[in-house]
């Protein structure tokens, strides 16, 4: 499958991803579910669609040095130089829509995947989920994190603050397309994952301005990489104009309140309780 990524892969986009990582960590209060219990020596963790590798690099600081952390992305353009990675972190290239190589089958104790909303455009995460399950050990933990766009709401700091454009931006993302996010726990169960659990959290209002600035950076990224790139009659101008109007409302106290969702489940194994 061709790489038709709807967002960018330059330094501005990398900065957005890295900033977003710390916001997620602060909002969830963890990087990895406490259920993962990565305390044994020589455990293995994979991060799919790792982007800049920030999740793995941050996680590596809190794990025993024998833990092996391996990140994969269809593009290596956001990776730091290999020579500067901790010795237990490796970053490689893999298009997750392709069958995983046999060397990865059943390899990992934990597989993590985060923010694939723009990658899954047919409302069906099953092909990716199947590949993640293939590389998990029996009994291993899958952790999938996404924004639930269906649940997000517009709020204002004062009742009189303008919010019309912010609401338009919130509605711009066609929610039906992303329906799979809030049905992900059922999708996990239909793939026979056990111990499925869901954590849903809104960001603190004190952090919401930072989330909102990132949302506007994302809107402009989408306008350039997805709409302008298609060429006339498509153009990102309307989205850029909307982003400007939203920014004026944001400065007067409007914001989109996001819902962060983490779904975890275990790959079944013969001697694991269902
Ligand atoms: C929104 S970014 C999220 C990056 C990272 N997971 C994070 O949370 O910071 C989505 C990532 O998925 C990667 N990606 C897109 N299509 C992919 C594919 N088919 N296989 C593997 N990675 C893919 C992109 O290159 C990008 O780095």
What does the domain layout of the chain look like in residue ranges?
A: 11-148+176-203+259-266
pLDDT tens-digit readout, 101-144 = 999 999 999 999 999 998 997 889 999 999 999 999 999 999 99
166/49 Cα distance (integer angstroms): 29
pLDDT-derived band at 54 (thresholds 50, 70, 90) equals very high
Atom 14 of ligand 1, residue of closest alpha carbon: 49
Say how many C-beta atoms besides its own lie within 10 A of residue 10's C-beta.
13
Mean pLDDT taken over the chain: 92
Q: Which atom of ligand 1 is nearest to the CA of 1?
A: 19
Q: Which atom of ligand 1 is nearest to the CA of 47?
A: 6
The pLDDT assigned to 174 comes to 64
pLDDT above 80 for 274: no
Asked if residues 261 and 145 have their Cβ atoms less than 8 Å apart, the reply is: yes
Average pLDDT over residues 50-54: 98
Residue to substitute in 7, 28, 49 for testing ligand 1 pocket (most ligand atoms within 8 angstroms of CB): 49
Q: Which residues does a 6 A CB cutoff place in the pocket of ligand 1?
A: 5, 17, 21, 49-51, 54-55, 73-75, 95-97, 114-115, 119
Contacts of 44 (CB under 8 A, 6+ apart): 67, 68, 69, 70, 107, 108, 109, 110
141/161 Cα distance (integer angstroms): 44
Tell me which of 4 and 258 has the higher pLDDT: 258
Q: Which atom of ligand 1 is nearest to the CA of 116?
A: 10
pLDDT above 80 for 4: no
The pLDDT assigned to 6 comes to 74
pLDDT tens-digit readout, 221-262 = 988 888 888 877 778 899 999 999 999 999 999 999 999 999
Asked if residues 214 and 144 have their Cβ atoms less than 8 Å apart, the reply is: no
Average pLDDT over residues 4-24: 89
Say how many C-beta atoms besides its own lie within 10 A of residue 274's C-beta.
8
pLDDT tens-digit readout, 169-190 = 998 876 667 889 999 999 999 9
The pLDDT assigned to 273 comes to 46
Which one-letter DSSP state was computed for residue 224?
I
Sheet containing strand 136-147, edge to edge, reads 89-93, 68-73, 44-48, 108-114, 136-147, 259-266, 194-202
> How many whole angstroms from 3 Cα to the centroid of ligand 1?
10
> How many whole angstroms from 50 Cα to the centroid of ligand 1?
6
CATH number of 11-148+176-203+259-266: 3.40.50.150
- CA distances for 78 relative to 95, 217, 266, angstroms: 15, 17, 30
> How many whole angstroms from 273 Cα to the centroid of ligand 1?
33
> How many whole angstroms from 5 Cα to the centroid of ligand 1?
8
> Rounded to 5 degrees, what are φ and ψ at 188?
-55, -50
> Rounded to 5 degrees, what are φ and ψ at 273?
-55, 135
The pLDDT assigned to 226 comes to 81
Q: Which atom of ligand 1 is nearest to the CA of 18?
A: 9
The pLDDT assigned to 38 comes to 86
The pLDDT assigned to 177 comes to 75
> How many whole angstroms from 74 Cα to the centroid of ligand 1?
7
The pLDDT assigned to 272 comes to 47
Helix 208-222 and helix 164-172, axial crossing angle in degrees, nearest 10: 60
pLDDT tens-digit readout, 32-49 = 999 888 888 899 999 999
For residue 217 the two structure tokens come to 């950076």
15/9 Cα distance (integer angstroms): 10
Asked if residues 62 and 37 have their Cβ atoms less than 8 Å apart, the reply is: no
Asked if residues 67 and 89 have their Cβ atoms less than 8 Å apart, the reply is: no
> Rounded to 5 degrees, what are φ and ψ at 79?
-75, 145
The pLDDT assigned to 3 comes to 57
The pLDDT assigned to 2 comes to 42
């Amino acid at each position: 499958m061709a790489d038709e990524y709807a967002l960018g892969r330059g330094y501005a986009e990398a900065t957005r991803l890295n900033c977003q990582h710390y916001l997620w960590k602060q909002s969830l209060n963890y990087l990895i579910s406490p259920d993962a219990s990565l305390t044994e020596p020589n455990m293995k963790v994979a991060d799919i669609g790792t982007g800049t590798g920030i999740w793995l690099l941050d996680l590596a600081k809190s794990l025993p040095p024998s833990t092996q952390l391996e990140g994969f992305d269809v593009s290596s353009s956001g990776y730091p130089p290999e020579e500067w990675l901790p010795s237990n972190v490796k970053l490689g290239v893999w298009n997750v829509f392709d069958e995983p190589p046999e060397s990865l089958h059943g390899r990992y104790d934990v597989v993590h995947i985060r923010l694939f909303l723009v990658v899954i455009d047919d409302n069906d995460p099953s092909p990716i989920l199947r590949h993640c399950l293939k590389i998990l050990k029996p009994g291993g933990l899958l952790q999938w994190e996404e924004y639930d766009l269906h649940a997000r709401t517009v709020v204002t700091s004062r009742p009189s603050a303008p919010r019309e454009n912010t609401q338009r931006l919130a509605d711009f993302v066609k929610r039906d397309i992303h329906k799979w996010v809030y049905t992900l726990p059922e999708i996990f169960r239909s793939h026979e994952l056990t111990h499925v659990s869901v954590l849903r959290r809104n960001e603190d209002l004190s952090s919401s301005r930072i989330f909102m600035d990132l949302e506007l950076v994302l809107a402009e990224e989408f306008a350039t990489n997805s709409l302008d790139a298609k060429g006339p009659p498509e153009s990102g101008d309307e989205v850029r104009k909307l982003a400007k109007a939203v920014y004026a409302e944001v400065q007067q106290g409007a914001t989109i309140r996001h819902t962060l969702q983490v779904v975890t489940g275990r790959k079944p194994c013969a001697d694991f309780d269902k």
